[in-house]
Amino acid sequence: MRLVPVPEPTSAALKAFLTEQARALGFSSVGVAALDGVTQHDRLRTFLDEGRHGDMEWMATTADRRADPRVLWPEARTAIIVGHSYAPDSDPMAALSDPERGMISVYAQGRDYHDVLKGKIKTLAASFARKSGADVKVFVDTAPLMEKPLAQLAGVGWQGKHTNLVSREHGSWLFLGAILTTAELPPDAPESDHCGSCTRCLDACPTRAFPAPYQLDARRCLAYLSIEYRGHISEEFRAPMGNRIFGCDDCLAVCPWNKFAEVSREAKYAATAATAAPRSPKFWRSTMPRFASALRAPRSSAPAAIASCATR
């Protein structure tokens, strides 16, 4: 009996396999971008030269790798971008008018998304590597990779005027992760900008953190001030901070594209009774020491640490 060799899967077949596996794992979106010629030098350099990164010096020290994924890994040929919806089941702005409650950003109200997303992406990457024989590397905020521009190139969404990714299916509520691979796959068409003349996200910002559409000055951003910044918040921003404890969702929550977003199917992202606008006085009296400690924690673990404070 003569054995007939099994043909290697074509790039189109590999992409179809990838998409099928991603959907089976519960990912909301998956897209593919070729890495040839992908650079973000100009936009990133302007952001850094203007000092808009504040005291996030790690952004400046990793600028070359951040601007070009091929500097990070020269052998990579393709970026696989996955999105995982964390759309809330209620209006995240509702508690802003209640001074007795504190606001925690939607993304930090459930389990730490780094852990949830990375487990799923590792499973997807392993399946793809076995099928393709290609090398893979997984990223979920674990390296200087600019996921949002890559997501736009991969057709997952576009960077809106608030600089965050927007999806026509999932609004502003998408966690992103990436797989870089040495395999060459047919790229998806880049997503075009669908913001139109809308400026709701810019108008909603209580500190005017957007110098212009598609530009952010992190030094004025309440999310940066309550999560990344380690100094004292200046008086200018204390009243706008209001009852926000961790993060700010204002520019995300007002996006009209959110009306198409279904509530996230991932139960691990759901808010608990303790994290969905906890009562402020009780929260601060019982958790101030742990909260201060959590703010000093590594950035990747800070959301989980804050959430754990609220549950004790």
Q: What is the pTM of this model?
A: 0.86
pLDDT given for residue 5 in this prediction: 47
Containing 132, the helix (H) or strand (E) segment is helix 113-132
Please give the single-letter amino acid code of residue 79.
Answer: A
Give the pairing type, strands 29-34 and 165-166: unpaired
Confidence (pLDDT) at 184: 95
**Angle CA 107–113–114, to nearest 5:** 135
Element (H, E) at 12: helix 11-24
Question: Residue 31 has what pLDDT?
Answer: 98
Instruction: Give the start-to-end residue ranges of the domains of the chain.
Output: 11-310
Contact between residue 194 and residue 147 where contact means Cβ atoms under 8 Å apart: no
Tell me the percentage of the chain whose pLDDT exceeds 70: 86
pLDDT at site 274 = 81
Cα 257 from Cα 264, distance rounded (Å): 15
Per-residue pLDDT at 2: 53
Residues in the chain predicted with pLDDT less than 50, given as ranges, are: 1, 3-6, 300-312
pLDDT at 276: 82
Q: Strand (E) positions, the chain?
A: 29-34, 78-85, 103-104, 136-139, 158-159, 165-166, 174-181, 244-246
pLDDT in the model for residue 283: 55
Half-sphere exposure of 32 (CA within 13 A, CB side): 21
Residue 305, pLDDT score: 41
Residue positions annotated with a catalytic role: 141
Q: What pLDDT, on a 0 to 100 scale, did the predictor assign at position 36?
A: 84
The DSSP call for residue 121 is: H
pLDDT of residue 302: 47
Distances (CA, A) of 1 to 4, 6, 7: 9, 15, 18
Selection from 242, 241, 277 nearest residue 95 by Cα: 277
CA 60 to chain centre: 19
How confident is the model at residue 121, as a pLDDT? 97
**pLDDT tens sequence across 82-93:** 999 999 998 988
The interaxial angle of helices 280-295 and 302-310, nearest 10 deg, is 150
Helix/strand/coil percent split, the chain, to 5 = 40, 15, 45
Whole-number pLDDT of residue 94: 87
**Chain segment 182-205, per-residue pLDDT in tens:** 999 999 999 999 999 999 999 999
